[in-house]
Every structure is written in C-alpha cells, then in structure tokens.
C-alpha cells in the first residue's frame, strides 16, 4: 500500500509541482552521519525554495510512503535496510520496520502516485565486468518503464559509463545534458562521453517530458553536472575508484555490497571531500528538479 503524505496529496490534487526524493542517500547507507541529515535538510529546502513540494519516499512499518511526514523522517537517517523496486512488495507484505528507498523504488512510487519528477545524487548503471557478472542496476529499467524525469549527476563514477549510456539507449531512455554536451561523472563535470541532447532551461526539459508522456513513453534522464566549486580532481577520483574496486574484488563483494565499499574508499582517499561534493551535487539536483517540476505543472 502506498500512502501519500497530506502536503504531497494536496499538491498533486491541484497540479502543483512535486519532486520525489529517495531516502537511501539520507541514511548512513548513502552518507555518513551527520552529513546524511544535512543532505536531507538541504535538498528539501532547495526543492521548496524553487517552488515545489518535496516528497520523501520510504517504507515504514510496511507502509510505502510518498511524502514521509516530517515527524517520521528521523527514522530514515538510521535505517539499515535498503529497498529497491523488486523489494517494495516484499517489504510491504512483511511489514518492514524501516526501509530506505533506492532510485528504482522511488521511481516506481512516484509514477504510481502521479509525481513526474524525481531527484537523486547519481543513478546506478552497468557495472564493470557486467559481461561476466550480469550486474546491471535496476535503476535503468525503472527509468525506462516509468514516465518520470530523473534528475541526477550522471551515474556513479565507478560504473562502466559507456555501457550505461548504451544500455539507456537500448531501453529508449533519452539522456539530456543540463547546460552541457557531456555526460557527468558524478564527482566531475564530464566523463568525456557525449550526450545525445542538450537543454539550457527547465522549460525545455518540461516540454520533452510532456511530449514523451503524450506518446505513452517511459522516463527521461536529465544529467546535471556537479557545481564547478564542488568538482573534485578527476585523477584523484580515478585512483580511489581503482583501489576501491581492487578491494571489492579481493573481498569478493557482489551486488549491493559493491557501492558502499567503493564510496568508502573514495571518501578515505579524498579526506572527506567526496562527502562535501555529494552534498553539493544532491542539493543542486534537487533545485534543478524543482524548476523542471514547476514548468511541467505550468504546461
């Protein structure tokens, strides 16, 4: 069962702009404390200041929420169970106490309740050596299947970005660069890979979203580069990623275990600068998403 929070339900009923937010990034599974709490505060504030209503998604006592009430948001900060799209029905049926939602779960929830824009830090994608492991994030298919515009700083930097873009093309997901011709690499503004489309304002994104909705097509990925002031050194990040992947291989980690291990290595290698970068890009994405949601509401 999906319960829509009072403020979000009221906004949807009058076609006011709403932005869905995942909750994994706001738990210690996504960011260390107290940065996770700061991220939640900054992202929700950015959405509101841009004229939209934030809708935090999560599972609490088996209830799937779209617009978790403020008094319950403390629960997600310390949650230790991650819920992807495949897990939503199970978590609800088993009355999971607290489960934080991933990109794929949040996109499913948003689409079910009529929220058309979702903001996150970075999506999952095709993992390196996927031709052997078959490890491809459910985020990609969720975006393809559901008519939600997803705003992110590209995909996680340690993924196979060329294959991620190829997979999105195969699944008919348009990748649009926000004021850029290049696909962002999370901590850096460019991966060196081109995007097929570029937009320079929120209204253009809204028009694309509405056109795809009218055609009965799936979602769109809006790739927003990390703000210039928060961008990290590309070489330093690349070295940290390689070390993290070596540790993943040595410890024989698979699936959901990979991302936290690599992110921890990046945080260590950057002396915590990666956390600050994550905060900045998540906040920026939330602001851009809200602007797009406002334009969609006006259309």
pLDDT by residue (tens digit) across 35-62? 999 999 999 999 999 999 999 999 999 9
**Rounded Cα distance, 241 and 132, in Å:** 20
Please give the full DSSP string across 103-115, using - where no structure is assigned: HHHHHHHHHHHT-
**Rounded Cα distance, 40 and 49, in Å:** 14
pLDDT tens per residue, range 3-17: 999 999 999 999 999
In this structure, how many other beta carbons lie within 10 angstroms of the beta carbon of residue 26? Answer: 28
DSSP character for 123? B
Q: Which CATH class is domain 2-298?
A: alpha beta
pLDDT tens per residue, range 120-145: 999 999 988 899 889 999 999 999 99
Measured between alpha carbons, how far apart are the two ends of the chain, in Å? 30
Please determine, for residue 185, whether its predicted confidence score (pLDDT) is greater than 80.
yes
Report the chain's mean pLDDT, rounded to a whole number.
94
pLDDT tens per residue, range 225-243: 999 999 999 888 888 888 8
Q: How confident is the model at residue 247 (pLDDT cuts 50, 70, 90)?
A: confident
- pLDDT for 219 equals 98
- pLDDT for 256 equals 67
For residues 254-267, one letter each, b for 16 or more C-beta atoms within 10 angstroms of the residue's C-beta and e for the rest, the string is: eeeebbbebbebbb
CA of 272: how far to CAs of 59, 181, 266, in Å? 30, 29, 8
170 within 8 A of 143, measured Cβ to Cβ: no
Q: How far is CA 78 from the centre of its chain?
A: 19
92 within 8 A of 58, measured Cβ to Cβ: no
Please determine, for residue 152, whether its predicted confidence score (pLDDT) is greater than 80.
yes
Is the Cα dihedral 273, 151, 77, 70 positive or negative?
positive
Catalytic residues: 22, 156
Is the Cα dihedral 272, 274, 277, 281 positive or negative?
negative
């Amino acid at each position: 069962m999906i319960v829509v929070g009072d403020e979000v339900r009221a906004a949807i009923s009058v076609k006011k702009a709403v932005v869905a937010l995942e909750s994994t990034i706001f738990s210690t599974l996504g960011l260390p404390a107290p940065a996770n709490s700061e991220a939640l505060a900054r992202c929700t504030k950015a959405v509101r200041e841009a004229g939209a209503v934030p809708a935090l998604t999560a599972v609490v006592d088996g209830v799937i929420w779209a617009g978790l009430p403020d008094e319950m948001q403390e629960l997600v900060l310390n949650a230790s169970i991650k819920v992807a799209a495949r897990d939503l029905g199970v978590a609800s049926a088993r009355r999971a106490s607290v489960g934080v939602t991933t990109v794929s779960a949040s996109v499913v929830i948003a689409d079910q309740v009529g929220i058309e824009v979702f903001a996150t830090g970075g999506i999952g994608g095709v993992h390196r050596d996927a031709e052997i492991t078959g490890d491809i994030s459910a985020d990609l298919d969720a975006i393809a299947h559901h008519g939600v515009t997803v705003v992110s700083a590209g995909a996680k930097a340690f993924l196979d970005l060329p294959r991620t873009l190829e997979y999105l093309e195969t699944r008919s997901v348009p990748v649009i660069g926000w004021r850029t011709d290049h696909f962002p690499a999370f901590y850096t503004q460019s991966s060196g890979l081109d995007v097929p489309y570029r937009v320079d304002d929120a209204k253009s994104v809204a028009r694309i979203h509405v056109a795809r909705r009218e055609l009965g097509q799936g979602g769109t990925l809006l790739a927003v580069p990390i703000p210039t002031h928060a961008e990290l050194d590309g070489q330093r990040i690349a070295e940290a990623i390689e070390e993290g992947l070596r540790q993943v291989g040595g410890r024989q980690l698979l699936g959901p275990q990979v991302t936290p291990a690599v992110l921890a290595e990046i945080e260590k290698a950057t002396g915590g600068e990666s956390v600050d970068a994550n905060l900045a890009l998540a906040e920026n994405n939330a602001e851009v998403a809200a602007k797009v949601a406002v334009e969609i509401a006006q259309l």
